[in-house]
């Protein structure tokens, strides 16, 4: 077995363990924490396509979560359309919005892009909070939308509602694995090379035939689509959405924090970041949500500062280095025995 | 037939005329040297040709086609490769991946791009540095990497902006050799260089500019003894009486 095979087997083992976990963990509370962990890893991986590889800092990705959540929920409540179909429609809508806001803003440099994405999500939130009816669609302003839970025997795949947490767990895990596979594929493709080079040295990339601006817009469209799917999932998991839950800067910032601390532009970064940081967010919400709301963002901010001081490329690089040394150790030992 | 033809090109930044009514042309398979004092407008002229700036006035013909105001990435696809005076490596990628970005201009396939990049790096003597990050490479190797990236795009015309600046004499000799090899393979090269020894050895013809204006053009020996050129470089005091 070569080192690469060993590493691959470790990853496969990890995925299998994740699939087997609900056999051991049955507490709905813990399953919920794990589901949210996968969901955040999924959203941050989607964010990473543009925020990591394309080298810009989007701080408004919750707008796509919101579009996904509202689209599928409105279609389900008013027209009985399966949330799975609503999920795709929301994704396409988000992709269109991602194109329209990406086209003019992705030409801007650094902070201007980040600021314009923040302004956009705030604008959308304020609008939704003030709109009860958008044409024929009922958004219900700041009160948000409630999805009445179906009785257990009617719940199921088509309605994207389940009586237990396990199905949500497996859906979230599958979404995460698929988006990681997609990211792996992209980062090894021409598009991935173009994104990374254009994100780092746009002028040099352009001279090598890269249309940097359109690559970034394409990445934003794909990222918006994928992020939006998480919005529908979140709506079905919580069965209640309102502007301040899905269209907030909090959520946008948390994705950026996870990516920056985990390691922007690496495939494992968002997963490692979510693994380390989601528990912080969960526990600070459980214990301090009444006394100190927003405490998790303060903690994440402090962690970010410390990480940026000592590991400016995020925690993934040292952790992968460790993984590398450990697997190398396992490979070497048997060979030394035979010599 | 000339591969590149610049006609009455002017580039203004606000009130500053960086390139002033410059005309020149390069025959296929030749090397044209562009020299001039610091700030003369050499890099700006390159940037206009490569599409970074749209010239205020004038026309650029590449392979018979008017490419004035075309974008850099389109010009690259048409066969224009360039290096930057200040090297711009992609720091997070390995040397090989840097070159692959260029190679993707000719193919969508990753394996083909990798093969192309490996070929170019072997030819330039970077064969054993493929897995290094640019940050771990010497200045000379980083300059060479710039050339490799440009070459991987399969250019017909190569624009080299001071690729020898800051190198030791032996390293300069190596780059001169590389450029000679490229020429022998039929590449057309437009080169900016301050190192006189190199530009004299390489160029079929030299254009001298000062304050954006062409002050002299000719074969290397003729240019070297031209009175205006000596004045431009050394000041009026040194002009032969
Ligand atoms: N983007 C820009 N905006 C404004 N002025 C510029 C710009 N680029 C170049 N200039 C000015 O144009 C003039 C020519 O600069 P350029 O870099 O072309 O000179 P150069 O001949 O390449 O010099 P060097 O030998 O030092 O590289 C300089 O005065 C420079 O300050
Ligand atoms: Mg210059």
Q: How far apart are CA B99 and CA B103, in angstroms?
A: 6
Of A200, A201, A208, the CB nearest to B102: A208
- At A120, is the pLDDT very low, low, confident or very high (cuts 50, 70, 90)? very high
Q: How far apart are CA B97 and CA B116, in angstroms?
A: 11
Provide long-range contacts, Cβ within 8 A and 24+ apart, for A78-84. Answer: A78/A136, A78/A137, A78/A138, A82/A158, A82/A159, A82/A160, A83/A159, A83/A160, A83/A232, A83/A235, A83/A236, A84/A157, A84/A158, A84/A160
**Å from CA of B89 to ligand 1 middle:** 21
Given an 8 Å threshold on Cβ–Cβ distance, is B150 in contact with A201? Answer: no
Residue with tokens 């990406």: A102
- A217 within domain boundaries: yes
Rounded to 5°, the CA angle B41-B46-B51 comes to 125
- Contact of A185 with chain B, judged by CB distance below 8 Å, is answered with no
pLDDT confidence of residue B230 = 83
Range of the domain at B55: 1-79+190-241
pLDDT confidence of residue A233 = 98
Q: How far apart are CA A308 and CA A47, in angstroms?
A: 19
Among A144-158, A164-178, B24-38, B91-105, name the one with the lowest average pLDDT. Answer: A144-158
Residues with CB under 6 A from ligand 1: B 13, 16, 18, 36, 38-44, 85
For the segment B147-186, what is each residue's pLDDT rounded down to a tens digit?
Answer: 999 999 999 999 999 999 989 999 999 999 999 999 999 9
Residue in A195, A209, A314 to test binding to B, most B beta-carbons within 10 Å: A209
- B225 within domain boundaries: yes
For the segment A217-254, what is each residue's pLDDT rounded down to a tens digit?
Answer: 999 999 999 999 999 999 999 999 999 999 999 999 99
Average pLDDT, chain B: 93
Q: Which atom of ligand 1 is nearest to the CA of B36?
A: 21
Provide CB contacts within 8 A for B92, sequence distance 6+. Answer: A196, A200, A265, B133
Given an 8 Å threshold on Cβ–Cβ distance, is B73 in contact with A209? Answer: yes
**SS3 category, B84:** coil
Given an 8 Å threshold on Cβ–Cβ distance, is B105 in contact with A209? Answer: yes
Q: Residue B215: which CATH number?
A: 3.40.50.300
- Give the 3-state secondary structure of B91-122: CCCCHHHHHHHHHCCCCCCHHHHHHHHHHHHH
Per DSSP, which regions of B14-84 are E strands?
16-27, 31-35, 57-62, 65-66, 80-82
Q: Which of A22, A91, A23, A80 is nearest to A230 (CA)?
A: A91
Q: Which of B15, B31, B12, B60 is nearest to B189 (CA)?
A: B31
- Contact of A188 with chain B, judged by CB distance below 8 Å, is answered with yes
- Contact of A214 with chain B, judged by CB distance below 8 Å, is answered with no
- A239 within domain boundaries: yes
Q: Which atom of ligand 1 is nearest to the CA of B40?
A: 21
**SS3 category, A247:** coil
Range of the domain at A209: 30-248
Asked whether B196 and B24 are in contact (CB, 8 A), the reply is no
Q: Which of B6, B19, B25, B14 is nearest to B209 (CA)?
A: B19
Provide CB contacts within 8 A for B112, sequence distance 6+. Answer: B103, B106
Q: Which residues on chain B are in Cβ contact (under 8 Å) with A266?
A: none
Domains in chain B: how many in total? 1
- A298 within domain boundaries: no
- At B236, is the pLDDT very low, low, confident or very high (cuts 50, 70, 90)? low
For the segment B31-87, what is each residue's pLDDT rounded down to a tens digit?
Answer: 999 999 999 999 999 999 999 999 999 999 999 999 999 999 999 999 999 999 999
Residue A20 Cα, gap to closest chain B Cα (Å): 36
Residue B79 Cα, gap to closest chain A Cα (Å): 10
- Give the 3-state secondary structure of A40-57: HHHHHHHHHHHHHHCCCC
Given an 8 Å threshold on Cβ–Cβ distance, is B90 in contact with A205? Answer: yes
Given an 8 Å threshold on Cβ–Cβ distance, is A200 in contact with B76? Answer: no
For the segment A28-61, what is each residue's pLDDT rounded down to a tens digit?
Answer: 999 999 999 999 999 999 999 999 999 899 999 9
What is the pTM (predicted TM-score) of this model? 0.91
Domains in chain A: how many in total? 1
- A113 within domain boundaries: yes
CB-based burial of residue A142 (10 Å sphere; 0-12 exposed, 13-18 middle, 19+ buried)? Answer: middle
pLDDT at residue A339 tops 50: no
For ligand 1, atom 18: residue with the closest CA = B41
Percent of chain A exceeding pLDDT 70 equals 98
- A54 within domain boundaries: yes
**Å from CA of B57 to ligand 2 middle:** 20
Given an 8 Å threshold on Cβ–Cβ distance, is B90 in contact with A197? Answer: yes
Give mean pLDDT, residues A254-273.
Answer: 93
pLDDT at residue B127 tops 90: yes
- B211 within domain boundaries: yes
Average pLDDT, chain A: 92
- Contact of A194 with chain B, judged by CB distance below 8 Å, is answered with yes
């Amino acid at each position: 077995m070569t080192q690469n095979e060993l590493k691959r087997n470790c990853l496969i083992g990890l995925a299998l363990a994740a699939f087997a976990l609900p056999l051991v963990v049955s507490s709905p509370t813990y399953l919920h924490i794990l589901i949210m962990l996968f969901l955040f890893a999924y959203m941050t991986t989607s964010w990473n396509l543009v925020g990591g590889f394309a080298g810009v800092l989007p701080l408004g990705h919750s707008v796509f979560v919101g579009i996904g959540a509202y689209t599928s929920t409105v279609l389900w409540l008013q027209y009985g359309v399966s949330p799975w179909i609503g999920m795709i429609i929301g994704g396409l809508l988000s992709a269109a919005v991602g194109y329209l806001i990406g086209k003019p803003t992705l030409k801007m440099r650094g902070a201007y892009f980040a600021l314009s994405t923040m302004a956009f999500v705030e604008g959308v939130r304020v609008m939704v909070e003030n709109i009860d009816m958008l044409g024929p669609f009922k958004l219900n302003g700041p009160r948000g939308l409630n999805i009445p839970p179906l009785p257990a025997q009617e719940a199921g795949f088509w309605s994207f509602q389940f009586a237990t947490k396990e199905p949500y767990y497996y859906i979230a895990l599958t979404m995460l694995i698929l988006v990681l596979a997609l990211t792996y594929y992209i980062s090894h493709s021409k598009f991935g090379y173009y994104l990374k080079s254009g994100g780092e040295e746009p002028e040099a990339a352009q001279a090598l035939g890269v249309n940097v601006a359109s690559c970034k817009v394409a990445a934003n469209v794909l990222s918006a689509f994928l992020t939006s799917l998480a919005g529908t999932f979140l709506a079905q998991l919580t069965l209640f959405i309102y502007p301040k839950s899905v269209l907030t800067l909090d959520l946008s910032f948390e994705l950026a924090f996870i990516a920056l601390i985990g390691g922007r532009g690496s495939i494992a970064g968002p997963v490692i970041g979510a693994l380390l940081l989601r528990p912080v967010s969960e526990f600070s919400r459980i214990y301090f949500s009444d006394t100190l709301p927003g405490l998790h963002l303060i903690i994440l901010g402090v962690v970010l500062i410390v990480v940026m001081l000592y590991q400016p490329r995020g925690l993934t690089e040292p952790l992968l280095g460790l993984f590398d040394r450990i697997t190398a150790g396992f490979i070497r030992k048997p060979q030394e025995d035979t010599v | 037939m000339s591969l590149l033809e610049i006609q009455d090109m002017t580039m203004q930044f606000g009130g500053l005329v960086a390139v002033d009514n410059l005309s020149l042309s390069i025959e296929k398979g030749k090397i044209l040297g562009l020299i001039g004092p610091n700030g003369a407008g050499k890099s700006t002229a390159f940037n206009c040709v490569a599409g970074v700036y749209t010239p205020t006035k004038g026309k650029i013909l590449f392979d018979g086609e008017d490419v004035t105001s075309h974008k850099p990435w389109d010009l690259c696809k048409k066969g224009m490769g360039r290096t930057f005076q200040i090297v711009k490596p992609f720091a997070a990628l390995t040397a090989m991946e840097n070159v692959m970005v260029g190679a993707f201009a000719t193919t969508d396939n990753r394996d083909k791009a990798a093969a192309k990049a490996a070929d170019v790096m072997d030819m330039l003597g970077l064969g054993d540095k493929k897995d290094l990050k640019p940050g771990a490479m010497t200045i000379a190797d980083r300059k060479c990497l710039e050339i490799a990236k440009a070459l991987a795009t399969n250019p017909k015309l190569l624009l080299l902006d001071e690729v020898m600046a800051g190198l030791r004499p032996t390293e300069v000799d190596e780059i001169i050799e590389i450029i000679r090899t490229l020429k022998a393979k039929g590449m057309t090269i437009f080169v900016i260089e301050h190192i006189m020894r190199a530009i004299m050895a390489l160029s079929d013809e030299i254009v001298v500019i000062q304050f954006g204006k062409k002050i002299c053009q000719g074969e290397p020996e003729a240019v070297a003894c031209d009175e205006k050129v000596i004045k431009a470089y050394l000041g009026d005091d040194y002009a032969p009486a």
